[in-house]
Structure 1
Amino acid sequence: MAMAKLSQRAIHVGCRGGGCGLCKVKVLQGDYQTKRMSKAHISEEEAAMGFALACRLTPLSDLELESDHFQLRKQQIQQAI
């Protein structure tokens, strides 16, 4: 949602419910929790390496994320919320 408010397209947005897998990111730094995610999009091995679906991720601290085309600090988008 914060990315949408900033009119940034760094994370692809699809269903916003964890069903499509378009918002797959890797958390490089920071603490977070995730809601249940489909193993079709995030395997247990990937989750252990820091991969998550952005729509199912709740930051507990500032995060540094990586997807195919960007690196973004969660602190920058937190200001838009």
Structure 2
Amino acid sequence: MNWMEVFKDINSWMLESNKKMQQYTIHSDKYWEWLISSLGAIEAKYKHHPLVVGFLSEIIEFQDQNVQKMQGRGS
């Protein structure tokens, strides 16, 4: 496993996520459809490696927590 490549892809995804949030907002279905699709592509690229899946799952959880905080439901 080329971990430098994994982290490069995650970094690129995060930069693109910032652009998508300006385009759609984090609350929109369009953003979440993009999020799931794009993270799914990264997961598939690395053949569903358990550690990669864990990293990507944490990104989803983090974004979900951000939405909850914005909606006054998170801590």
* Higher relative contact order, chain-length normalized (CA < 8 Å, sep 6+): 1
TM class by shorter chain equals: under 0.3
TM-score (norm 1): 0.23
Higher strand proportion: 1
Higher helix proportion: 2
TM-score (norm 2): 0.24
